[in-house]
Amino acid sequence: MEPVPDATTRCKFRHLLEENNLGVALFDAVAVYLEENGMKVSKGTIVDATIINAPTATKNKSKTRDLDRHQTKKGKQWYFGMKAHIGVDSKTKLIHSVVATPANVHDSQVLGDLLHGEETRLWGDSAYAGQQSVLKDNDPKVKDYTQVKGSRHRKLTEQDKAKNRHKSKVRAKVEHVFHIMQRQYGFTKVRFKGPGKNANHLFAHCALINLMLSKKQLLRLSVA
């Protein structure tokens, strides 16, 4: 049995992944492998984002906070770190698109990067409401099932609330993906300085999540 690599070896391996952008390559390779084994992306996409916290005391060489991370307010609480945006298949929950940004980038700003281009349906929370122009640029046939958003001047009607509850039955699937990311893989904190390193880390995690979600199907194929 081979010995477990020491900390120096693991660190050098991580630097190799980062320098060659192999997190993205790993994510793409897993996607190809799963498609070859019958797990193709369907016509429905769910989009969402989650904040990956960073220590507020993180310092760079100038002894200031890391300028590649920003703070944002969600509800009544402030967060500091990066944001992981994902596009998820509405049937299999497989991640097909990933974007890493500072925490203060609004979810809707990267919507176009989360679409694979062949969707006919899109689900998302109210942060993605009113993005018809983005959807038309992607495909005019895409049906928008994002949550209806209320405002101070326009309260949600009971019909709006009923529609949102119905949409949430599909949209909630993306929360399972974030649960795996944060609870099973422990990706709740930004570990490194610099957007490239953390983006590489995110893509590698998403590749592993897709393998976990496909475990049962892959085991059936191996037995057959």
pLDDT category at 136 given cuts 50, 70, 90 is confident
State the pTM of this model: 0.85
> 157-186 pLDDT, tens per residue?
999 999 999 999 999 999 999 999 999 999
What's phi and psi for 190, nearest 5 deg? -75, 125
| Sign of the CA dihedral running 97, 140, 174, 156 | positive
CB atoms within 10 A of CB 224: 5
CB atoms within 10 A of CB 147: 20
- At residue 40, the pLDDT reads 87
For 168-192, b/e burial (b = at least 16 CB within 10 A) is eeebebbeebbebbbeeeebeebeb
User: Is pLDDT larger for residue 77 or for residue 218?
Assistant: 218
Domains of the chain, each with CATH number or no CATH:
41-219 (3.30.420.10)
> 72-115 pLDDT, tens per residue?
655 556 556 889 999 999 999 999 999 999 988 999 999 999 99
Share of the chain above pLDDT 90, in %: 53
Q: Is the pLDDT of residue 5 over 90?
A: no
Q: What 3-state class would DSSP assign to 142?
A: coil
- At residue 50, the pLDDT reads 94
- At residue 58, the pLDDT reads 47
What's the whole-number mean pLDDT along residues 35-62? 82
> 139-156 pLDDT, tens per residue?
788 999 999 988 788 899
Distance of CA 136 to CAs 90, 130, 142, Å? 20, 12, 8
> 51-72 pLDDT, tens per residue?
998 876 545 555 555 545 555 6
